[in-house]
Structure 1
Amino acid sequence: MRLHGTACRVTIFIGETDQYHHKPLYTEIVHRAHQRGLAGASVFRGIEGFGASSHIHTSRILSLSDDLPLAIVIVDAEDKIVEFLLELDELVDEGLVILDPVEVYRYVGRDQKRDEKKAKR
């Protein structure tokens, strides 16, 4: 897939222990993004944070939390991201979902990189 130029980023902020049908919610979101053919998804684990509940979750040893904040970031064409929002409506009960316009400068997978090197020879 070639992705270059104007795109859209959706970031989903949830808790590490959030579940969907007895599976981690972040796993379900990433797998659904993959099934829909989106360009990519990454999950980032926070070391401290709070959300709408105002309860602080932290990785500090004295107040170790088993529910650290997670951010799932997905970038693709705006129409694909907007379509994927319907999936997120079903999945995300608690959390925050934000959209940002982004400019994709470079998006190259391993196979594409190998092909580019061969073409230069």
Structure 2
Amino acid sequence: MNMIQEDGQLLRIFIGEANKHDRMPLYEWIVRQARSRGMAGATVLRGIQGFGANSLIHTTKILRLSEDLPVVVEIIDSPEQIETFLQAIDHAITEGIVTVEKARVRMYRASGGKGVQNQP
């Protein structure tokens, strides 16, 4: 299991659901890349409404179903792992926004309660 220190970073990648890389949804490709590189974990969140740099509103409202809803991929790991990962995936993100912020990791556990618990 990947060990993660208390002083980590949160990587957020805001993209559209319709964005692709090698004919695969970009969010799925990013998660697979994170897993293959031994990142601590990744989560994909699907938004119900949003807009980006092009100012087009994407929504799940009944009268206007969007096929390009906002998606956020969140990954928490060490600052070094996040930076290396960003360099590896940079070419695939052709639109969207990427943010990085400090994250204090209090617990990182696998099923069965195994894992790392940092002290407060």
TM-score with structure 1 length normalisation? Answer: 0.90
CA 51–107 in structure 1, closer or farther in 2 if over 3 Å, else same: same
Q: Which residue of 2 aligns with 1:47?
A: 48
- Matches of 2:5 and 2:107, distance apart in 1: 7
Give the strand-richer structure, 1 or 2. 2
Identity of aligned residues (%): 40
Contact 1:4–1:106 (CA under 8 A) maintained in structure 2: no
Contact 1:4–1:105 (CA under 8 A) maintained in structure 2: no
Task: Give the secondary structure class of the aligned counterpart of 1:110.
Answer: coil
Shift of 1:58: 0.1
Instruction: Structure 2 unaligned segments of length 5 or more: list them.
Output: 116-120
- Matches of 1:22 and 1:28, distance apart in 2: 10
TM-score with structure 2 length normalisation? Answer: 0.90
Query: Counterpart of 2:96 in structure 1: which amino acid?
Result: G
Q: Extract structure 1 runs of 4+ deviating beyond 4 A.
A: none
Query: Counterpart of 1:101 in structure 2: which amino acid?
Result: K
Shift of 1:91: 1.1
Q: Number of paired residues?
A: 114
Task: Give the secondary structure class of the aligned counterpart of 1:29.
Answer: helix
Q: Which residue of 2 aligns with 1:21?
A: 22
